[in-house]
Structure 1
Amino acid sequence: MSHDFAPGPRNRKGRPQLTPEARALADELSRRAAQMWAESDGELSIAEAVELAAFRMGVELPQTETEPRSEP
């Protein structure tokens, strides 16, 4: 299975510029997540790979929902 994921463009119109430190962190997170995703052979979504990479780097990201919540 071939994976051809590549992060999108960095600077999108209307978004603030990242500091050099934040950009370096984002680049490393993106690199690790893309590698994990490619190596997972379909076991991880890219969102899950990003969350796992962030966890391993000690970076906290907003939570994403992958399963619907059940109503009490």
Structure 2
Amino acid sequence: MAEFTPGRRSRKGRPQMPPEVQAVADELSRRAAQMWAEADGELSIAEAVELAAFRMGAEAPQTMTEPQGES
């Protein structure tokens, strides 16, 4: 089985992603590739990406807005 190695894709003709978005995309790619490699054929790369995205979302700090009292 060939190894999946995430890499920068040609973004020709596409707008540049903001650095924060690029950092999240890079982290998602890294985590998905690691999960896929460790799954030993039990996950497709698409499943690994989906799982990595889910886990990243679950790990993100949840911000709650508290109701503000009337002044």
TM (normalized to structure 2)?
Answer: 0.72
Letter aligned with residue 15 of structure 2: P
TM superposition shift of 1:4: 1.8
The aligned counterpart of 1:20 is 19
Q: 1:3/1:38 Cα in 2 relative to 1: closer, same or farther (>3 Å)?
A: farther
The aligned counterpart of 1:56 is 55
Answer whether contact 1:11 1:17 (CA < 8 A) is retained: no
Q: Highest Rg: 1 or 2?
A: 2
Structural RMSD (CA) = 1.8
Greater helix share, structure number: 2
Answer whether contact 1:33 1:53 (CA < 8 A) is retained: yes
Q: How many residues align?
A: 58
The aligned counterpart of 2:46 is 47
Cα distance in 2 for partners of 1:3, 1:31 equals 17
TM (normalized to structure 1)?
Answer: 0.71
Answer whether contact 1:3 1:38 (CA < 8 A) is retained: no
The gaps in structure 1 that reach 5 residues or longer are 60-72
The aligned counterpart of 1:4 is 3
